[in-house]
Structure 1
Amino acid sequence: MKITETAIPGVLLFTPKRFSDSRGFFLETYNERLMQEAGLPTDWKQDNFSVSSKGVIRGIHYQVIQPQGKLVRVAFGAVIDAAIDLRKSSPTFGKHVAVELSEDNGSMLWIPPGFGHGFSVLTEKAGFAYKVTDYYSPAGERTILWNDPAIGVDWQVADADAVVSDKDRQGKLLADAEIFA
């Protein structure tokens, strides 16, 4: 598996080796030894899966109580996945990394605790799978407005075509959000 450091230290892109033949393909989506060697946690608390339609934007979500690290991937379809640094003391505070994750590239993104996360769906449907390092905490959940110009994520979906939940439409601007020290 190839591990690539992104523009924000600590956010890692994993590209597994794919073995293809006439039947299809095989790839490894998780290897505890490799994760340990990369310095990632291996004590996962939940595995989550969502299916969304083209134009859906989910996020920008994070938890101030029980912050979660996430290892995210796409089982089918394609998304733009974004990790936003919400650590006030970080030199990359407010900056983001956005990558395409798809069934074709098989890539996974490690998003450490202290980051906001969101994705947009580029294909007719996408199946999004992710492991998290802590349990969901409704009391600690926060949302930053998905189209906050201070962050400037290019979701590759026109604002007029974006399908966004009421909760996500009510997200706060980064300037007004509760963030990490």
Structure 2
Amino acid sequence: MALRRPPRVRSRVPEEPYRINERITAKEVRLVGDNIEIGIYETSKARAIAESQSLDLVEIAPTAVPPVCKVVDYSKFKYEQKKKQKEIKAKAQKVVIKEIRFGPNTDDHDFEFKVKHATNFLKEGSKVKAYVHFVGRTIVFKERGVNLLNRFSEALTDFGKLEMEPKLEGKRMTIILAPLPPKK
């Protein structure tokens, strides 16, 4: 019986998102940065300018003609980019969906109570998913569910807009309401 060697594990260094210094392959580049005369230079001359300031030449727009390069400290540049990405991610809104459940025979008082809750949810900026849950033979009364959900969406027209029409999925008929954008 032959012995098998364990497979080789290659340590893979993550590839840099930007080309720097010697990795820039273009003949000419548009040079930008602090304390630099903006213009088009040969890559070797641009690299020399960066080295004279003991900084790096970083290709920031490789698809431009000619490519745009910036004279900057590369580690500081990477830190700034990472910081910008975190900021963008933090500003992105997280969508919260609140659910409200009805039965096909929901009474008027319960309906008003749930409309009041939905109004508060929409004012907070959350989406509202309202559904009618059909139990047992109540599935026969689908039109009651449609009527109830349409009445619900009409009661909330001042606070939210209908995002999804009443849709039956199994034993649930669902609608989704999104909050209206704040008025300026």
So what's the TM-score if we normalise by structure 2? 0.24
Q: Which has the higher strand share?
A: 1
Higher RCO (CA-CA < 8 Å; seq separation 6+)? 1
Larger Rg: 2
Q: Which has the higher helix share?
A: 2
